[in-house]
Every structure is written in structure tokens, then in C-alpha cells.
Amino acid sequence: MIFHHSKFEYDESDLALFAKIAINVRLAFYYIHVMTRREQMDFTRFAEKLMAMDDESWARHSNPWSVYTRFSILPLMSLAFWSREWIGSYSLIPILLSFIWIWLNPRMFGVPAKTNNWASMGTFGERIYLDRKINPIPDHHILPTIVLQIMSGIGLPIFIYGLYSLNIWALVLGNMWIIVFKAWFVDRMVWLYNDMKDTNPQYLIWLKS
């Protein structure tokens, strides 16, 4: 059988491993937080720099196909890591491809002709949120956005544990947890864009009906 019974259950060693992973992930987030604060950034800005997003990349990422297919990243990564059960060391190939997909996704699709939709406006809101130190955003968006990012991050150690141990339940929970809060984050960014689009001529240029 592909899935072994032991991988569907938690034992003491599993829980100990999960605790270690959670601690290490928390330390990693703390390190990133310290480093990004030193550069007066936040984690979202850090991720943008890591992805080397420029105006052209953002314009392409506003394509709804780019936004919706981005939700496939975690499931594809899960399959890639699980493939070591089927193809052994050759699983490095799909694992590498899954990481390439993360970088390629915002750049793969063309600039959309119309952006008057939920997905496109979500990317516009994210750009506005990233530039909030230059162009302040309404206070009622700041705390909810931070909370959504934290809630999404809580699912990360669960997801990592699922990848490491090939625990199907941890993988499913981690995927669903992160994707749900990511979608909620995008929805909040749509709200932010609608609140801010009339405050800057550049924001209105992004919107194409």
C-alpha cells in the first residue's frame, strides 16, 4: 500500500517532532521579523523582495489565472514531497519543480485586459499594503491584516510536519488552514483597494474594465 497505517496516527515521537518543528519555525519567523524590522520592512515586503517582484511582475500577477493557480502551490508541493514514497530520490525533480512554480507563477501569465475582478483587485490591495509606510492606509485594515498573516503562519508548522512525516492528516489540515487564511487575506486586500483606489491616481490606472 502507498499509505501506511502508522502515518495516519500520532504517537509520542510524532508529537515531540512536531513540537521541535513548531519551535524552529517560530524562531525562524522571529529571525525574519528582526531582520525585516532592521530594514523597516515586514514579512510581506520581505517575501516580495525574495520573489524579486517589479512592476511588470505585479502587472502579470494581477491576471486572475495567476492568482487562482497560486493556490495550487501547497497541494503541488505536498504531492512533490510525498512522491518520495513512490520514486525515492527522483522525488527531488518534482520538489524542485514545485519551488520553480512558486517563482514562475506571478510571471507566467500575461497582463490582463480587464482587472475589475476579485483576484486582480486583491493583488492591487497587496501592493498598496506593501507601500503603506509611504502612503498610509486606513487604521481599520492594519490589525485585521496582521491577524490574518499570523493565522496563516500558524498552519505552516503543521504543513511542514506533514511534509516531513508524510502524515496525510497534517498535510490536509496544513493545506486547508493556510489556503483559507490566504484567501481571506486576498479578500481583505480587495476591501483595502476599494477604500484606497480614489486616493491616488496610480491606483485607478490599475483598474481596467
Mean pLDDT of 105-109: 89
13-51 pLDDT, tens digit per residue, is 555 555 555 555 555 555 445 544 443 445 555 455 545
- In three-state form (DSSP H/G/I as H, E/B as E, the rest C), the secondary structure along the chain is CCCCHHHHCCCHHHHHHHHHHHHHHHHHHHHHHHHHHHCCCCHHHHHHHHHCCCHHHHHHHCCHHHHHHHCCHHHHHHHHHHCHHHHHHHHHHHHHHHHHHHHHHHHHCCCCCCCCCHHHHHHHHHHHHHCCCCCCCCHHHHHHHHHHHHHHHHHHHHHHHHHHHCCHHHHHHHHHHHHHHHHHHHHHHHHHHHHHCCCCHHHHHHCCC
**Tens of pLDDT along 39-88?**
344 555 545 554 557 788 899 999 999 999 999 999 999 999 999 999 98
pLDDT value of residue 133: 87
Predicted pLDDT of residue 87? 92
- Mean of all residue pLDDT scores within the chain: 82
List C-alpha distances in Å: 126 to 138, 140, 157, 206: 14, 15, 24, 13
pLDDT beyond 70 at 177: yes
Question: In the chain, what percentage of residues exceed pLDDT 70?
Answer: 75
The per-residue pLDDT for 54 is 75
pLDDT over 60 (residue 182): yes
CB 148 within 8 A of CB 178: no
User: What one-letter code names the amino acid at 145?
Assistant: T
Look at 133 and 182; give whichever has higher pLDDT.
182
**Tens digit of each residue's pLDDT (9 = 90 or more) over 84-101:** 999 988 999 999 999 999
Say how far apart CA 16 and CA 39 lie, in whole Å: 35
Cβ-defined contacts of 156-162 (< 8 Å, 24+): 156/25, 157/18, 157/21, 157/22, 157/25, 157/26, 158/18, 159/74, 159/78, 160/21, 160/25, 161/17, 161/18, 161/21, 161/22, 162/78
Q: Are 162 and 174 contacting, i.e. CB atoms less than 8 angstroms apart? A: yes
* Cell numbers linked to 75: 497541494
Q: Which three cell numbers stand for residue 26?
A: 517560530
Q: Which residue in this structure is represented by grid cell 500577477?
A: 61
